[in-house]
Chains A and B, each alone.
Chain A
Amino acid sequence: MSRWNVKDRHAYPAGGTASDSGNVKEDYQYDGRRWVIVGIVIGVIIIYIIRLFSLQMLNDEYKENAQNNAFLNKTIYPTRGVIYDRQGRLLVFNQPAYDVMVCMRNVHNLDTLALCEALDITRQQFDRRMADIKNTTLNPGYSSYTDQVFLSQLTVEDCARLTEQLYKFPGFSTRLRTIRQYNYPNAGHVLGDLGEVSKKEMAADDYYSRGDFIGKQGVESFYERELRGVKGREILLRDAHGQIKGHYMDGAEDVPAVPGKNLHLGIDMELQALGERLMENKIGSIVAIEPSTGEVLCMVSSPTFDPRDLAGRQRGSNHVKMTQDLRKPLLNRAIQGTYPPGSTFKTSQALTYLQEGIITPETSLPCTHGFVMGGLHVGCHDGTTSWNLVPAIATSCNGFFCWGLYRMLNAHKYTTVQEAMTCWKDHMVDMGFGYRLGVDLPGEARGFIPNADYYDKIYKKSWKGVTVISIAIGQGEVTLTPLQIANLCATIANRGYYIAPHVVREVEGGTLDSLYTTRHYTTVDRRYYETVVEGMRGAVTMGTCRRAASPDYEVCGKTGTAQNRGKDHSVFMGFAPKDDPKIAIAVFVENGGYGAVYGVPIGALMMEQYINGHLSAESEKKADEFQHRVINYGNTER
């Protein structure tokens, strides 16, 4: 029985107080009006539910607004890994520095001049920087609510000066960051530097945000991922007055920063420093490798730079200066310079001829003041003789190796000269030439090894062995990087294999790429390497690099004198001790003349330093002398 039924009322007799009776007619007349009120209540509730639905379910804008309101996302920067040398000396570490941050919304009544003075910048720099920050093309993450990097890497002293006056500049604050600091002025090319992340780098990896630092060169760049660690995140709660009220969900959503991994280099900093000293006032490079591991012991590229010049606030202006320097100090010639290898290349030729059966260790080839064929004459310093391989290497006989290549390219075992050339090229590539070795530094050059197609194109297929004969002595089209020469030397020292040269020997808490742990055996048999080793030993005992000899250990070496447009380049490669090689080295001095003039003595000093751990007094004197020898390169771009 419905209580809504009007008739139902008669079930209750009128009674009680007097006022309960009467007005019966009016009672019935307006009963319909209850539905108006019911309609209002239900209508409003439905409208409000729809509104709530649109606010809470359809619109994400409010959620974002709420997060912008309440959450202050703070990045926690991990400490970057530090770098040690071979002996565990600390090379690169972190020092506190400060970034000046600006939150545009809070900047009011700024005394621009006072700020510029406190920061030691000009009004123009200030205006440009403010414009850059607000430019969303340059700075896609811009928000006037959040702190933006205004100026980075202030030293502790600079920051202290600013902090005193900071209260005058609402909206500006400082943030503690770290700056790279160096214990040695050496190995700039290997260590590399850090710079502010570029727009392109940000686009490539969304780990980075504006104002972050990233390795730009050297190990800092190649091992960026290991060194940088992983940024952490704190979500702080900010109330309506801008005060921090603690961590969101008591820190449950916070992520701690993971510190970067430390690196141990194969570089011996004393050896590196000596190499840089010896190369002063000369252009060129020195690369030394531990043959058994492929670890790079030193990598000198001259002219070099002090890595400290590329850290901190002065980085920008110094970088510009170095880029404009005609001698290109930023170029790492050890891996980026490609040169004709000269006579050092003859060792690779000997190995190829032996492996291909073109010659045997006993084969004698004639030299008549070099190689004479038709109108072509490749000169040689010796007279008219006939050598077999060991003395040919020791005396660096041009005739022998030209004849050898001539024989190979005309050998009956190949149907065409192209086939012979392809076979030659395959051996070269296998020894690590013509392609990148894969050193753990950015920007390695390939060098160049010509192949049959290349000559077909140049000579329109009408070429013979004689046409290309100069490649047998490391001239002509062939170019190598100093690293590739050093790697050839290491391969010979190892009697037939190499491990891709690498600068970093250990990543703390990580593993090295398998490329840096696997031996790569070349196509040439070990016994032929022994013959070449004998030849290189002969070069030291009785041949072209007698000045490399040491009373303490057996040195093997090979000089090179690379012809080019200017004065010849002075080249040396060698390793020692002969039977248990600890160091294989390549020295390349641009326009240094004969290999024996610069290459051999510098190489000898380097080997002595590394094997003995110091230089004898006599050697020290010699080192001084070489340090002060100047090669005049004139005023042309190198």
Chain B
Amino acid sequence: MATRNGSLWKSVDWVTIVICLLMMAFGWLSICGASYDYSTTSFLSFSSRAGKQLVWIGCALLVGIVLLNIGKKYYQLYAYILYCAVIALLVVTIFIAPDTKGSHSWLVLGPVKVQPAEFAKFATALALARQVGRYGFTFRRRADMVKALAIVVLPMLLIVAQAETGSALVFLAFFLVLYREGMTGSFLLIGICAIVFFVVGISQGGHFLPHIPTDVGLFIVMALIPVVTAIMLRVYAHDSRRALIVIAVSVPVTIAALLASRYFIPFNVGWVQIGLCGLIAVWLLLSYLPSRRPVYLFIALFAVGSVGYYYSTDYVFNHVLKDYQQQRIRVVLGMEEDIKHVGYNVHQAKIAIGSGGLRGKGFLNGTQTKLSYVPEQETDFIFCTIGEEQGFIGAVGVLLLFGALILRLLVLAERQGLGRFGRAYGYSVVCILTFHLIINIGMVIGYMPVIGIPLPFFSYGGSSLWGFTILIAIFLRMDAERTVR
């Protein structure tokens, strides 16, 4: 079923290719801007970063063309083998990679440095797609689900072991793929709750409600737990009656406790709220016993677990997270104004972007990036150079390019026939790109903690460029075969 070159030419999705080439071109110009320092004479010299990036782009295009000419069945066939090879590479990397700023994720091959984590993405995507696309695969079967989750979590753990947490977090994007393929959404809901409880608990903790001796963070989290419990009852147990009872009991009791604490005897309202959560859990447990519907058990566990989670966040934050991670989080949550140390990068990034105005300062005219005020300006903070030199127009242009690419790939993923292999792989590409976009740009504009992951096609570096090229090229080949057949 090998496709002849001529028909491949016709059947490949040119929209995606054009967007990718535009991004590479724009990205290369941005690297020129970022690495230009008034003494630069040529961007084509291999000694400059711009010159090197040109070589990486050339290699990437070559790799892309080669991959486009390999049939879909081979990807399917060798998915697990590739995955195993990459896992082996990741393991080896932990031991042989030299220390680069504390992480052991770079393999040095002569003059070239390679980050295997970048290649783990497409291998994991292929393996996951193969697993999910397997005949009879269903998330209802626990063994299937564990297999799918294991495929995602294994490389993640190995990358964490390389002390490259940022790259490991990217694998969280696969959970969205699993969600699309039918895994229960409660994972996402619980994940969102975990993030919200953590953020609220940390950022609002430490001070009391007005005139009531109750910690604000505690109060909000404990007020949210019954609400989420009620939503879960409604959505997962289809039990509107119990959902209503939860709300009808917890809201008045909480308000009554607040009033009593304010006007009669001051006490910690949090204890009443915790009691309420416990009560709800016990009541749900009693509902489970006659009906034997495990969903009640899970929701009861959620209510109890959330209380435990709240109390453990404090511990996790102070004892599990490293100092620099704590500080990054505090800065992002606006609890600390730190423009000299941890917040320096983001502060300077915001200055660079903010000073760009509508049209920017013009190509090579950015001062903040040129004068090294923004660190990592060619790699993780490349978006600063775009914001400064190309202004609001350029920055929005980049966002829209990403939007167009991601949505286009999403359209392609959705049309991958009845088999789930193509679609799951397509969604993997979509979700990985989305994750990079959200984290990288969010970090530069001060919405996300500083997590060192590159902006696809823009950031300097061969590994990341090849990683994304491979991801997309394989998918384009799958898409091309859909019509050629």
Contacts and interface: CB of A to CB of B under 8 A. Distances in A.
A54 to B, nearest CB: 9
Interface string B337-359: 00000000000101111111110
A190 interface: no
B14 interface: no
Given A12-B417, A29-B182, A66 B355 contact: yes
Interface in A19-42: 19-24, 26-27, 29-30, 33-34, 36-38, 40-42
Interface string B135-160: 11110000000000000000000000
Nearest to B181: A30
B139 to A, nearest CB: 8
Contact of A69 (B38, B136, B373): B373
Given A14-B419, A51-B447, A63-B355, 8 more contacts: A9-B418, A27-B420, A34-B410, A38-B407, A41-B407, A56-B353, A56-B356, A56-B395
B180 A22 contact: no
Given A40-B434, A57-B357, A4 B411 contact: yes
B182 A34 contact: no
Interface string A234-254: 000111110001101100000
Mostly, the A contact residues are: helix
B367 A248 contact: yes
A52 B396 contact: yes
B302 interface: no
- Pairs of residues from A and B, 8 with the lowest C-beta to C-beta distance, nearest first: A62-B354, A20-B419, A66-B355, A239-B371, A70-B367, A56-B392, A55-B354, A240-B372
A138 B136 CA distance: 83
Given A19-B134, A21-B135, A24-B418, A52 B434 contact: no
B399 interface: yes
A373 interface: no
Contacts of B402: 45
Interface string B375-399: 0000000000001100110011001
A34 B180 contact: yes
Nearest to B431: A37
Contacts of A63: 354-355, 357
A71 interface: yes
A514 interface: no
A182 B333 CA distance: 65
B292 interface: no
A52 B445 contact: yes
Interface in B57-104: 73, 76
Contact of B445 (A19, A48, A67): A48
B399 A48 contact: yes
B437 A44 contact: yes
A633 interface: no
A17 interface: yes
B410 A22 contact: no
A18 interface: yes
B403 interface: yes
Interface string A596-608: 0000000000000
A309 to B, nearest CB: 47
Contacts, number: 176
Given A30-B182, A246-B38, A65 B365 contact: no
Range, interface on chain B = 35 or more
A50 to B, nearest CB: 10
A293 B418 CA distance: 108
Interface of B: 1, 37-38, 73, 76, 130, 133-138, 176, 179-182, 185, 348, 350-358, 365, 367-368, 370-373, 387-388, 391-392, 395-396, 399-400, 402-403, 406-407, 410-411, 414-415, 417-421, 427, 430-431, 434, 437-438, 441-442, 445, 447, 482, 485
Contacts of B38: 237, 245-246
19 contacts: A3-B414, A14-B418, A14-B419, A34-B410, A34-B414, A37-B431, A45-B400, A45-B402, A51-B447, A52-B387, A52-B399, A52-B445, A61-B354, A62-B350, A62-B351, A63-B354, A65-B355, A66-B352, A245-B370
A52 B447 contact: no
Contacts of A248: 367
Nearest to A250: B38
Given A24-B418, A30-B180, A17 B371 contact: no
Contacts of B134: 19
B40 to A, nearest CB: 12
A165 to B, nearest CB: 30
A61 B420 CA distance: 51
A9 B437 CA distance: 31
Contacts of A110: none
A248 B364 CA distance: 12
Contact of B368 (A37, A48, A52, A70): A70
Contacts of B441: 48
Contact of A23 (B130, B138, B357): B138
Contact of A37 (B180, B367, B372, B482): B180
Contacts of B135: 18-19, 21-23
B182 A16 contact: no
Given A18-B135, A21-B419, A65-B351, A4 B414 contact: yes
B353 A57 contact: no
Given A52-B353, A52-B395, A56-B353, A26 B182 contact: yes
Contacts of A51: 445, 447
Contacts of B365: 249
Given A23-B420, A26-B182, A56-B353, A45 B372 contact: no
Nearest to A243: B371
A280 to B, nearest CB: 63
Contacts of B482: 12
A454 interface: no
A8 B411 CA distance: 13
